[in-house]
Amino acid sequence: MSRRPDHRLAKAAQGPAPKGIFEVGALASKVISVLHERSIAENALLCDAIIDRLLAAIIDPKGFDAEAVLAMLHSSRLSYEDIVSCYIPEAARHLGCRWNQSDMSFAQVSTASVRLQDLVRLISSGWSIEAGRRPTAQQLGILLVICEDDLHTLGCATIAARLRYAGHSVRLIFGATQLDVRKAMRQDWYDLVMFSCARLQALDTVGQFVKHIQATMRDVPPLVLGGLILPQVPDAQTLTGVDLATNDLQLALKLCDARAVEKKLVAE
């Protein structure tokens, strides 16, 4: 019998959540609200027994060996891409549910989340090198931004890993200020700028960043907004002024192709 938490029984966390690696209390209900968005393919791939073993490893109070856990997952015939794209996000969803059901403390969830991020880092450590070997014409330069008033990290690290696995060059800025973004975009050209937002408070900041970029750059790359905020704010695209608001990574990448075609038509 599966030991997955019953998401239907999830209740709102009581009292304000302390700040930490990411604001678990603030994010828990949002995590649960997007559980149904997993694709049929993801649900078919996910195995309860493997998820149980992964969860047991990341919450083990005796310690955590990322390499041993990765070996365990790999021995279950999971590709690194499946681990990063499906199993680590699923484990994070379980942490949110357990926090919301008061089955885990903030400290436990924070520690487990850091361990998941360690797994992402271990898996993707060589992907940036591989991305550098990809033909320039096929490689996208992507700037991934988490604003200073938004504290989540695991989801962005996972997205960055997936992009690098696909062969793209990714620069990730945590806790970004407007100055950070301006410097980054002056130093390098990016084919795509992605903002990840999990908190309503950070949505205004994203909008300010977008306005600044559009006002100070002559040739603005596609601007995309994603994150846990989207199911909560259906009009996030209009509110922030981005070109696209989506949690579909492939759809975001296609926007680059569409923009390239548009530029070619204008040039002709």
How confident is the model over 102-123, as a mean pLDDT? 89
pLDDT at 18 over 50: no
Q: Is residue 1 part of a domain?
A: no
Q: Is residue 261 part of a domain?
A: yes
Q: 39 versus 250: which is more confidently predicted?
A: 250
Cα separation, 34 vs 26, in Å, equals 14
User: Do 145 and 86 fall within a single domain?
Assistant: no
User: Do 45 and 149 fall within a single domain?
Assistant: no
Q: Is residue 87 part of a domain?
A: yes
User: Do 229 and 146 fall within a single domain?
Assistant: yes
Last residue of a domain, one of 125, 144, 163: 125
User: Do 194 and 104 fall within a single domain?
Assistant: no
Cα separation, 97 vs 117, in Å, equals 18
pLDDT at 34 over 70: no
* Phi-psi sector, 229: left (phi>0), alpha (psi -120 to 50), beta: alpha
Q: Is residue 52 part of a domain?
A: yes
User: Do 62 and 140 fall within a single domain?
Assistant: no
Domain housing 260:
134-267
Q: What is the pLDDT of residue 79?
A: 86
Q: What is the mean pLDDT of the chain?
A: 78
User: Do 120 and 145 fall within a single domain?
Assistant: no
Last residue of a domain, one of 70, 92, 125: 125
How confident is the model over 139-154, as a mean pLDDT? 84
Could you tell me the pTM of the whole model? Answer: 0.68
User: Do 110 and 210 fall within a single domain?
Assistant: no
Q: 59 versus 257: which is more confidently predicted?
A: 59
Binned at pLDDT 50, 70 and 90, residue 194 comes out as very high
pLDDT at 8 over 60: no
User: Do 232 and 179 fall within a single domain?
Assistant: yes
Share of the chain above pLDDT 70, in %: 73
Binned at pLDDT 50, 70 and 90, residue 259 comes out as low
Q: Is residue 197 part of a domain?
A: yes
Q: Is residue 178 part of a domain?
A: yes
Last residue of a domain, one of 72, 99, 125: 125
Q: What is the pLDDT of residue 12?
A: 36
Structure tokens at 41: 């393919």
Q: What's the chain's length in residues? A: 268
User: Do 178 and 239 fall within a single domain?
Assistant: yes
User: Do 193 and 92 fall within a single domain?
Assistant: no
pLDDT at 35 over 60: no
Residue with the two structure tokens 């083990």: 60
User: Do 39 and 108 fall within a single domain?
Assistant: yes
Q: What is the pLDDT of residue 77?
A: 87
For residue 248, the domain's CATH number is: 3.40.50.280
Binned at pLDDT 50, 70 and 90, residue 135 comes out as low
User: Do 96 and 179 fall within a single domain?
Assistant: no
Bridge partners (DSSP) of residue 166 are none
Q: 39 versus 100: which is more confidently predicted?
A: 100
Structural domains in the chain (count): 2
Structure tokens at 29: 């209900």
Taking only the tens place, the pLDDT of each residue in 86-104 is: 899 889 889 888 888 889 9
